[in-house]
């Protein structure tokens, strides 16, 4: 059975002074080393859509999926040039009604306001050959949403981003990793091909595409641990 690691990033930047959960930040030079290691190990870095044939078991090969949550400006400014240099594609999941704003869902807890890409920047990400995925409209806990609100958040974010980019948006990511069968079914009914969680572990061909596990890459993921997460069951055992 093919193993497809789906890597999860948030910020590609130095953590600002006073920020809590500093591990959400991967420094730019560390990210560059990680992309170099992927190539050295024979991986191709792909977006979620490009990886779907591998996740469905239709293709085989050494691929890793690159995903970025929330749509921060530093993903565009710092991650994109490194992705392009390595010939990789990636998926960034955007909160469709927070374009050009900040992380209002956790700014107080993290003690930092992090700038989110605006419409022009989202289009620039897309124009660079990267994938736009959906991460809801406002980043709520989806299991707490009534049915109508759930549809609005999930299907609405798809519609918003498709209008913005002029392209089909086929990938979803659950805010906070918060889901149950009702939420998962709502994502499927909205027309998404796949959805990622925060559950730890490497994905395997044939996994439920609406509940895919990922590997968190944090500020303390040093090179030896990065390799361990890719090549061993290290992350799987923590899922």
* Global pTM value: 0.97
Q: How confident is the model at residue 82 (pLDDT cuts 50, 70, 90)?
A: very high
Phi, psi of 130 (to 5 degrees): -95, 160
Q: Are strands 3-4 and 203-204 parallel, antiparallel or unpaired?
A: antiparallel
Domain holding 154, by residue range, is 3-238
Looking from the CA of 124 toward its CB, the CA atoms found within 13 Å total 12
What sign does the dihedral 184-152-103-194 (CA atoms) show?
A: positive
Whole-angstrom Cα distance, residue 134 to residue 194?
A: 11
Phi and psi for 20 in degrees, rounded to 5?
-90, 165
* Region 85-109 average pLDDT: 98
Exposed / middle / buried, residue 3 (Cβ in 10 Å: 0-12, 13-18, 19+): middle
Give the 3-state secondary structure of 55-104: HCCCCCCCEEEEEEEECEHHHHHHHHHHHHHHCCCCEEEECCCCCCCECC
pLDDT for 174-212, tens place per residue? 999 999 999 999 999 999 999 999 999 999 999 999 999
Residues 6+ apart with CB under 8 A from 148: none
For residue 55, name the pLDDT band (cuts at 50, 70, 90).
very high
Q: What is the CATH number of the domain that holds 184?
A: 3.20.20.370
Tokens of 224: 């030896």
pLDDT tens profile 122-151: 999 999 999 999 999 999 999 999 999 999
Domain count, the chain: 1
**CB-CB contact of 160 with 133 (8 Å):** no
């Amino acid at each position: 059975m093919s193993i497809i690691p789906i890597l999860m990033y948030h910020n590609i930047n130095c953590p600002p002074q006073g920020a809590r959960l500093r591990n959400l930040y991967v420094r730019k030079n560390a990210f560059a080393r990680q992309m170099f290691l992927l190539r050295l190990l024979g991986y191709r870095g792909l977006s979620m859509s490009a990886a779907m044939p591998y996740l469905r078991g239709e293709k085989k090969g050494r691929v890793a999926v690159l995903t970025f949550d929330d749509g921060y400006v530093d993903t565009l400014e710092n991650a994109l040039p490194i992705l392009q240099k390595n010939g990789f594609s990636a998926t960034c999941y955007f909160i469709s009604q927070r374009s050009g704003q900040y992380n209002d869902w956790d700014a107080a807890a993290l003690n930092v306001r992090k700038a989110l890409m605006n419409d022009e920047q989202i289009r620039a990400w897309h124009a660079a050959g990267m994938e736009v995925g959906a991460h809801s409209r406002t980043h709520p806990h989806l299991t707490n949403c009534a049915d109508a609100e759930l549809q609005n958040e999930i299907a609405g974010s798809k519609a918003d981003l498709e209008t913005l980019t002029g392209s089909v948006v086929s990938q979803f990511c659950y805010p906070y990793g918060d889901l149950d069968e009702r939420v998962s079914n709502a994502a499927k009914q909205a027309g998404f091909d796949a959805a990622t969680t925060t559950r730890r572990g490497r994905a395997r061909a044939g996994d439920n595409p609406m509940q895919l596990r990922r590997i968190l890459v944090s500020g303390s993921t040093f090179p030896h641990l990065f390799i361990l997460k890719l090549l061993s069951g290290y992350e799987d055992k923590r899922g």
